[in-house]
C-alpha cells in the first residue's frame, strides 16, 4: 500500500497494473526527453546572440517539427490502446463478485454461491487493533483466490460511487440502476486497500475497500466457513 512521501505508484499486484506501470515509465521518459530539448533550446536562445540563417526560413526544419510530434504521439497512443483493450478483456472468470455501493459502505455478493454475501463497514478508529490502518480497514474483507481471473460487477444503491483498488489496477464507477463490470487477476497473496473514488456525500472518506488474495485452498476453507455461518 502507499506510504507517506511516496512519489511513485504502489507495487503492482496484477498483470494489468504491471502493464500500467510500464506504460507510465515509457510516457514519462518521453516527457523528460521533450522537456530537456525545450529547456536546451530556451537556454541556447537566451544565452547566445548568434543567429543561424538556415533556421529562420527552412522547409526541412518545418517538416521535422511537424512530423516528429506525430511520431511521438503514435509511440504513446499504441501502447495506451493496447492496455485499454487488455483492461476490458474478460475471459472465463473463475469467480464473479457483485459489489454494491451504499451510503456509506460496500456490500458484496458471491454470485457463484447460493447464499454468500456480507456488508463491509469501516472499522472506527477507536476499535482498530495494533498494526491496522486508520480509514482503510473494513470489518469484512473481500476474499479472492490468487492467480485466478475474478470478475467484479459494480453497481450502487443510492448515489454515484467508485470501486477502486490501486494495487490491482482496478477502478470502476458504481452507478444506480446500471451494472458495470471489470476483471483482474491477483498475481500474489496479500491484502490490498482501496477507497471509494467518487464524491458520494458527507461520509465519502469512510467507505474503504479491502481485498485479501489467498491461495485457492484457503479461499475454499473461508467460503465453507462463511456458508456455515450463514
pLDDT tens, position by position, 97-152: 999 999 999 999 999 998 899 999 999 999 999 989 999 999 999 999 999 999 99
Residues 168, 197: one domain?
yes
pLDDT tens, position by position, 156-165: 999 999 999 9
C-alpha cell at 210: 479491502
Residues 136, 84: one domain?
no
- Is 8 within the bounds of a domain? no
Question: What is the DSSP track for 3-54?
Answer: -TT--SPPPP-SHHHHHHHHHHHHHHHHHHHHHHHHHHHHHHHHH-----HH
pLDDT tens, position by position, 61-94: 888 889 999 999 999 999 999 999 998 888 889 9
Q: What pLDDT does residue 57 have?
A: 73
Chosen domain end from 56, 88, 120: 88
d(CA 177, CA 151): 19
pLDDT at residue 8 above 90? no
DSSP 166: G
Q: What pLDDT does residue 77 have?
A: 95
pLDDT at residue 50 above 80? no
**What's this model's pTM, rounded to 2 decimal places?**
0.85
Q: What pLDDT does residue 65 have?
A: 85
Q: What CATH number is attached to the domain comprising 20?
A: 1.10.287.90
pLDDT at residue 42 above 80? yes
Amino acid at each position: 500500500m502507499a506510504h507517506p512521501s511516496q512519489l511513485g505508484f504502489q507495487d503492482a499486484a496484477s498483470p494489468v497494473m504491471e502493464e500500467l506501470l510500464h506504460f507510465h515509465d515509457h510516457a514519462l521518459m518521453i516527457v523528460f526527453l521533450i522537456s530537456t530539448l525545450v529547456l536546451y533550446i530556451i537556454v541556447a536562445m537566451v544565452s547566445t546572440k548568434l543567429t543561424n540563417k538556415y533556421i529562420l526560413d527552412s522547409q526541412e526544419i518545418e517538416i521535422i517539427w511537424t512530423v516528429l510530434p506525430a511520431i511521438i504521439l503514435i509511440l504513446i497512443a499504441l501502447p495506451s490502446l493496447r492496455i485499454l483493450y487488455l483492461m476490458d478483456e474478460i475471459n472465463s472468470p473463475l469467480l464473479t463478485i457483485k459489489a454494491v455501493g451504499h451510503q456509506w459502505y460496500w456490500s458484496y455478493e458471491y454470485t457463484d454461491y447460493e447464499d454468500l454475501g456480507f456488508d463491509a463497514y469501516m472499522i472506527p478508529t477507536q476499535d482498530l487493533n495494533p498494526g491496522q490502518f486508520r480509514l482503510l480497514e473494513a470489518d469484512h474483507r473481500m476474499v479472492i483466490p490468487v492467480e485466478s481471473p475474478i470478475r467484479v460487477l459494480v453497481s450502487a444503491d443510492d448515489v454515484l460511487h467508485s470501486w477502486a483498488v490501486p494495487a490491482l489496477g482496478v477502478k470502476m464507477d458504481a452507478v444506480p440502476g446500471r451494472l458495470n463490470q471489470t476483471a483482474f487477476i491477483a498475481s500474489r497473496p496479500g491484502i490490498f486497500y482501496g477507497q471509494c473514488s467518487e464524491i458520494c456525500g458527507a461520509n465519502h472518506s469512510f467507505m474503504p475497500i479491502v481485498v485479501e488474495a489467498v491461495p485457492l485452498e484457503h479461499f475454499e476453507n473461508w467460503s465453507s466457513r462463511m456458508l456455515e455461518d450463514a
